[in-house]
Structure 1
C-alpha cells in the first residue's frame, strides 16, 4: 500500500510550538558539538614519571600510620610538590604561631602581605574576619595579629599564616574527586557563600578536553563575573582553562590521586594564583570499568 502520511505536530498555543522548536535546535546543536569533543593537550613540562614515583613513596610512608585503602590527605609540602610536577604552583604560606614569627616571615616575603587563619572551622567563613589583606608594614601586621587572636581565639587554634599579596581578581574553586557512579569528576565554581548556597558548580568527566573546560567555566550562572560583568576587567580565562586541564591530567594519569582541592584560585586579568591546595591519595580498588561515561550521539 501507499506509505503512511507524515504526522504533523499540532500545538494548542504558539508558545508551546516555539518551546518545542527550541528543544529541537538545542538537540541539533548537541549532536553537532558531540562530533567535535575537543582534545586533551600534551604538556612538555609535566613530570608524569617523577610524580608516579613520588606517589608510590608517599603511599608507603602513609601506610605506616593510616589505612591507605581510604583516602588520606598529604602534608601540605608534599601536596604542593606533587602539584608542581604538573605545573600547578601553590603560593607559599608561612606558619605564624606568634607575632614575631609573622614579622620575620613578612620580611622575607616583602610587604604588603596577607595574614589569614587556616583552621578548618574558619577556612570557609570569610565573614568572621579571619583574613587581613594588604598589610603594608610591621605595625599593621602586629595590629592585625592581635585583633585576630583577641576576636577569634588562640594562635594554636587559628593556625595563622603569612602570605604574599597577589593581584586582585575573581576567587574560584577547582576540585577533582572520584564519584562512585561516574568515575573521576572535575568541578569548578566561584568561591564564597553565594555560590555554595546556590550549588553553582559545573562538572566534567576526566579526562577533560579543551572544549570541556571552555564550556565548563562558561556554564555556571555566575560566569559573567569572569568576563567583565558591569564594566569590570575580564580575567585570564585561558590561564584558568589551562589549570583545569592540568588538574584533569594529574588525576587521569595517577588513579591514586583521589581528591584535589584548589581553593581559592584567584584569577586576575593576567595570570592566576593558587593560594591553598589539598591532595588526597589512596590505593585504587581493582576495577574493570575504565574510561569516562559519555552519552552516545545517535
Structure 2
C-alpha cells in the first residue's frame, strides 16, 4: 500500500550507489515495518515527468472502457478521470488525454516542459487493443505511468484474466456526454 506513496515515505528516489540503497532500505524498515510487510522493490530510476493512471475494465452493462487521469490527488480527491469505450481510435486517445481538467499539466503549464503526449496516446491505443483483442483480459491497471518529455515509463502494472462477462446487447454502445 506504500509502493507509490512518496507522500507517506514509502518511496526513495535517485539512489546512486549501494551505500545509498542500503541506507534507504534501513530507513524504510525502521520506519515502516519488516521486509516481509514491505515487499520492497528496486527498479531503474524513471525519468521525471507527470504521473498518470491508465486503466481498462470490462463492465457487464457498458462493455470495455478505457480510463485515464493524473495519479494522486487529481484522480483520488477530485475524480478527474476520463473514459472512452474500447476500441478507441487515435482521435479518441488524443481526446481522452485532453479531456481531464488537469490536462494543462501535460502541455507545459506555467512554464513546465510539455510531456510526450504522442507516446502516452500510443500507450492508450495499445491497452485498448489488448483488451479488445483478448476478451479474457477483463481489467488492466497501469499506475503510475510517468510521462516524461521523451517517452513513458510504466512503473507498475496489473492484469486480471477471467472469462469475459456475457453481453446480451450487441448493438452500438456510447458513453453519456458530461
- Please give the TM-score of this superposition, normalised by the length of structure 2: 0.93
Per-residue CA deviations over 1:91-136 (Å, capped at 9, x if unaligned) read: xxxxxxxxxxxxxxxxxxxxxxxxxxxxxx2245332111000011
Tell me, in whole angstroms, the C-alpha distance in 2 between the residues paired with 1:130 and 1:290.
Answer: 45
Cα shift at 1:285 = 3.6
Task: Tell me what 1:10 maps to.
Answer: none
Task: Tell me what 1:178 maps to.
Answer: 58
Alignment of 1:249-264 (within 5 A): 249-264=129-144
Q: What SS does structure 1 have at the residue aligned with 2:65?
A: strand
Q: Is the aligned partner of 1:246 residue 2:140?
A: no
Task: Tell me what 1:270 maps to.
Answer: 150
Alignment of 1:179-258 (within 5 A): 179-258=59-138
- Please give the TM-score of this superposition, normalised by the length of structure 1: 0.57
How many equivalent residue pairs? 175
Whichever structure has more helix as a proportion of its residues is: 1
Per-residue CA deviations over 1:15-57 (Å, capped at 9, x if unaligned) read: xxxxxxxxxxxxxxxxxxxxxxxxxxxxxxxxxxxxxxxxxxx
* Inter-CA distance 292–258: structure 2 relative to 1 (3 Å threshold): farther
Q: Is the 8 A contact 1:228 1:235 kept in 2?
A: yes
Tell me, in whole angstroms, the C-alpha distance in 1 between the residues paired with 2:125 and 2:50.
Answer: 19
Gap regions ≥5 residues in structure 2: none
Q: Which runs of 4+ in 1 moved over 4 A?
A: none
Higher Cα Rg, which structure: 1
Q: Is the aligned partner of 1:138 residue 2:26?
A: no
Alignment of 1:279-290 (within 5 A): 279-290=159-170
Cα shift at 1:247 = 0.3
